[in-house]
Amino acid sequence: MSRDTSPIFGKLDWTVTPYTDLLRDVNSSTIVGAGAASVLVLGAIAGVALLTYMRWWGPLYRNWLTSADAKKIGIMYIALALVMLARGIIEGFVMRAHQATALGTLAQPESGLVAPDHFAQLFSTHGTIMIFFVAMPLLIGLINFVLPQQLGARDMAFPVLNQVSLGLTAVGAALVMISLLIGKFGTGGWTMYPPYTGIDFSPGEGVDYWLWAILISGIGSTLTGMNFAVTIFKERAPGMHFMRMPLFCWTSLCVAIMLIYAMPALTVSSGMLVLDRYLDFHFFTNDAGGNMMNYANIFWMFGHPEVYILILPAFGVFSEISSTYSGKRLYGYTSLVIASMSIAVISFTVWLHHFFTMGQSAGVNIAFGIATMIIGVPTGVKIYDWMATMWRGRVRITAPIVYLTGFFLLFVIGGLSGIILANPSIDYQVHNSTFLVAHFHNVIIPGVLYGMLAGIHYWFPKAFGFRLDEAWGRRTALLFVGGFIFTFMPLYVLGLMGMPRRSPTFQNPDFLPWMYLAGFGAVLMLCALAALFWTFWTSYRNRLALTVPGGDPWNGSTLEWSSPAPVPEWTYPRIPHVVARNDWGEAKRRGDPWKGPEEYSDIEMPANTAHGLLIAGAGFGLAFAMVWHIWWLAVLSFLAIPGLLAVRGMMVIEPKVIPASEVAEADRRFRHQVANLTPITRAEEETERNRGVPDLSEFAG
Ligand code: HEM
Ligand SMILES: [Cu+2]
């Protein structure tokens, strides 16, 4: 269905919304499509109305959208990820509801909630969203928030670049969102393999939505990698040697290096597919010398490191929380550092296991199979280290510890099913079945999702000044664990029974009980999502009882727990002089850790700027115009980008200076407050007595 191209509107016209489909034929699939579009429209209207009614536009613009403060940028990344998470989980539920009703016959294969094409859009947007617009912004957001604080730095090395990266990520997410209403998304899965996604087989706008979302957000992530790396190399506080950095900083460094080397491969494979589609190149076509294997190869050079980009920050979080909540020092710090770096390096040597069945020789397959199994070793080392950290500790069963326990149980199973798949001869049997779907959710949900939610729970007080409700936090975690077991364990069985992945239909009635179980699990996942948002809401309502102005609610040992909660823009009144690995813990052991600096000086912080917003606006214009072939807009937006860079390059930009008197006043107030708050023991941590000042006599970690 190719449409005429108008010089002004490109391929856009009134027929591109899902309402047209609904009017043409009312069925469950078109109702779901139009319903989703309506949720998007109503959500946008409600958002605008709320901002207007509360008069929040100004504060939103001044305090958030134009801020170059890494902590705020981090929070915005996480907010974006949570919105996208809601969509991703709902899509997962719709797919499970579809398959639970999709038993067909050979004569009548099509049945179930949504049409086959719609189902294909669902797994494509779900996978794309979960990887690029949930997992990535969650971890990049958390690193942005935590890393400078842990390093004793004021901000990222390049604060405005950081803002631009956020903008580019948001553009990608916005493109995927808008495809609900305007046109359709691609149906080639999150990997968008050609030749199916070439112009011959997928002529519509769907693949282009994916390509431009990936290209633009991918550039943002590459820049983020550089920013993190330079920050770690250059912005550490004096005395913060590499081997004194908290483990989370180490995993951030691994992520930074991996982003720099892995993301360009994705940009290249997507760029080549763009050339194929727009300019009739033949990199990946069936004819004229094209070869799709080149796509698979380049894509997975990004794709496999990517899964470790996703998981390593979670490993960092688990290192921090296993130690803090056990009141013990992290066991095997050096081995954890070596294991993280080994994972980062080995992860670049295994990509071929994603196409064991696509025609290379047995010898090559074996080499990559072995490399894949080897990566289990450093991962195993880490699991033992965390367990040894908790061993004989006084472990408090807080929400992050529930996530960690769920991770221990489930991630190991997922890792083991990965080792099974790493054997090429087994992979021949189960690849492209739901066994694989079970495997990767089995590592990605306990790893990435639990890890990031645990991290959010742990550092939340630093961002907003109050703790999250522990009871609801634990309920959420338990629901995510239980929901996972019901949703994905049946898929292992189904895969072995022969259920292909990405299949809108099946004919074997024996599959049905397992499909129902998985459907029930998806309901639990929806409940977990609701519980997560309820945790935020109920904690917000109860925030006075949960405030922790002392800033150290869990009796932590790393630098970030020495500042007030919420942490001020400048983080530390003076850049700290680090003397030990767990510097704050060391200060506590020496007694009187809250002794303030003798004198204060002016602090320079990056000034607010609309640069990121403007670049993002131009990026969105470019992408949207390219998707819909609106050439004049594409040219204008494209030219706007170097234009904006040039204008900023010529501007004289003064940093924001916070006068010493203001810093001194705020800091003295904080120290005065700490002196007047009652210290609490670890046993009282969950009670309202927790005001963020721990009992130092208890500190052992
Ligand atoms: C929370 C509940 C979730 C449910 C119910 C769910 C469900 C599903 C379903 C039904 C599929 C399609 C399976 C098939 O091909 O037959 C799928 C695919 C996928 N999911 Fe999930 N999922 C969930 C969470 C996640 C999370 C948290 C991530 C990653 C962070 C994720 C990443 C993916 C990816 C990458 C695909 C592959 C898409 C493709 O085939 O191209 N999912 N999921
Ligand atoms: Cu892989």
Q: Which of 619, 621, 609, 620 is nearest to 647 (CA)?
A: 609
Q: Residue 387's CB: how many other CB atoms inside 10 A?
A: 13
The answer to whether 331 and 388 have CB atoms below 8 angstroms apart is yes
Q: Taking the alpha carbons of 49, 51, 57, 60 in that order, is the dihedral positive or negative?
A: negative
Q: What is the CATH number of the domain that holds 398?
A: 1.20.210.10
Q: Is 120 in the pocket of ligand 1 (CB under 6 A)?
A: no
Q: By percentage, how much of the chain surpasses pLDDT 90?
A: 87
CB of 87 sitting under 6 A from ligand 1:
no
The one-letter amino acid code at 483 reads G
DSSP state of 604: E
Q: Is the CB of residue 303 below 6 angstroms from any atom belonging to ligand 1? A: no
- In-domain check, residue 161: yes
Does residue 96 line the site of ligand 1, with CB under 6 A? yes
**Is 0.85 topped by the overall pTM?**
yes
What does the pLDDT read at residue 1? 43
Residues sharing a CB contact under 8 Å with residue 485, sequence separation 6 or more, in sequence order = 410, 521
Ligand 1 pocket test: pick from 125, 130, 132, 476 the residue with the most ligand atoms within 8 Å of its Cβ: 130
Q: Give the 3-state secondary structure of 319-332.
A: HHHHHHCCCCCCCC
CB neighbours of 135 closer than 8 A, spacing ≥ 6? 81, 310, 444, 448, 449, 452
Tell me if residue 603 falls in helix, strand or coil.
strand
Give the distance, in angstroms, between the CA of residue 73 and the centroid of all CA atoms in the same chain: 14
Residue 538 amino acid letter: T
What local confidence, expressed as pLDDT, does residue 433 receive?
95
501 lies in some domain: yes
The closest residue, in CA terms, to atom 8 on ligand 1 is 92
Helix (H, G, I), strand (E, B) or coil at 500: strand
Higher pLDDT, 68 or 595: 68
* Cβ pair 248, 284 in contact under 8 A: no
Q: How far apart are CA 683 and CA 676, in angstroms?
A: 20
pLDDT tens-digit readout, 112-126:
899 999 999 999 999
Q: How confident is the model at residue 701 (pLDDT cuts 50, 70, 90)?
A: low
Residue 623 lies in a domain: no
Three-state secondary structure call for residue 656: strand
Is pLDDT at 7 greater than 90 in this prediction?
no
Q: What is the pLDDT of residue 168?
A: 97
Please tell me the predicted confidence (pLDDT) of residue 489: 97
d(CA 639, CA 633): 10
**Contact of 95 with 158, CB cutoff 8 Å:** no
Q: How many angstroms separate the Cα of 308 from the Cα of each of 343, 344, 348, 652, 674?
A: 8, 7, 10, 41, 40
Nearest protein CA to atom 12 of ligand 1, as residue: 123
Ligand 1 binding pocket includes 156 (Cβ within 6 Å): no
Report, as an integer, the average pLDDT of 560-588: 92
The candidate with the shortest Cα–Cα distance to 169, out of 192, 147, 194, 144, is 144
C-alpha 490/C-alpha 498 separation (Å) is 12
Domain that holds residue 104: 56-547
**Closest-CA residue to 469 (of 556, 547, 529):** 547
- 638 falls within a domain: no
Which amino acid is residue 386, in one-letter code? W
Return the ligand number nearest the Cα of 352. Answer: 2
> What is the whole-number distance in angstroms between the Cα of residue 304 and the centre of ligand 2?
4
Give me the count of residues in the chain.
701
Backbone angles phi, psi at 539, to 5 degrees: -70, -35
Angle at 299 between CA 295 and CA 300, to 5 degrees: 120
The answer as to whether 434 is a domain residue is yes
360 within domain boundaries? yes
| CA-to-CA dists, residue 318 to 30, 321, 378, angstroms | 43, 5, 15
CA triplet 34, 39, 45: central angle to 5 degrees?
125
Helix (H) or strand (E) holding 245: none
Ligand nearest to the CA of 440: 1
Average pLDDT estimate for 654-666? 93
Sorted by sequence, the CB contacts under 8 Å of residue 271 that are 6+ apart come out as: 215
Q: Is the pLDDT of residue 699 over 80?
A: no
pLDDT of residue 177 exceeding 70? yes
User: What's the pLDDT score for residue 120?
Assistant: 95
Give me the number of domains the chain comprises: 1
Distance CA 696, CA 701 (A): 11
Separation CA 250–CA 21 (nearest Å)? 51
CA 140, 143, 147 angle in degrees (round to 5)? 155
> Across the strands, what pairs with 603?
658
Residue 467 in contact with ligand 1 by CB distance below 6 A: no
Per residue, the 3-state secondary structure of 330-394, as one string, reads: CCCHHHHHHHHHHHHHHHHHCHHHHHCCCCCCHHHHHHHHHHHHHCHHHHHHHHHHHHHHHCCCC
- Separation between Cα atoms, residue 352 and residue 369, nearest integer Å: 9
Residue 248 within a domain: yes
**What is the average pLDDT across 350-359?**
90
Q: Is 524 in the pocket of ligand 1 (CB under 6 A)?
A: no
Range name among 230-239, 338-347, 400-409, 588-597 with the lowest pLDDT average = 588-597
Q: Measure Cα distances from 12 to 3, 7, 204, 624, 629 in Å.
A: 8, 10, 12, 11, 8
Determine the residue of 93, 193, 441 to mutate for testing ligand 1's pocket, defined as the one with the most ligand atoms within 8 A of the Cβ atom. Answer: 441
Residue type, 133: F
Closest CA to 443 of 347, 538, 585: 347
At 13 the pLDDT is: 86
Average pLDDT for 589-609: 89
Distance (Å, whole) CA 102 – CA 378: 42
Ligand 1 atom nearest to CA at 189: 41
Out of 10-14, 241-245, 328-332, 468-472, pick the least confident: 10-14
Radius of gyration for the alpha carbons in the chain, expressed in angstroms and rounded: 25
693 inside domain = no
Ligand 1 pocket check for 449: Cβ under 6 Å: yes
Asked if residue 126 has its Cβ within 6 Å of ligand 1, the reply is yes
Please give the DSSP secondary-structure letter assigned to residue 243: G
Handedness of CA 238, 240, 242, 248 (dihedral sign): negative
Closest protein CA for atom 40 of ligand 1? 189
- Residue 519 CB partners (closer than 8 Å, separation 6+): 96, 97, 99, 100
Rounded Cα distance between 393 and 389, Å, is 7
pLDDT of residue 456: 98
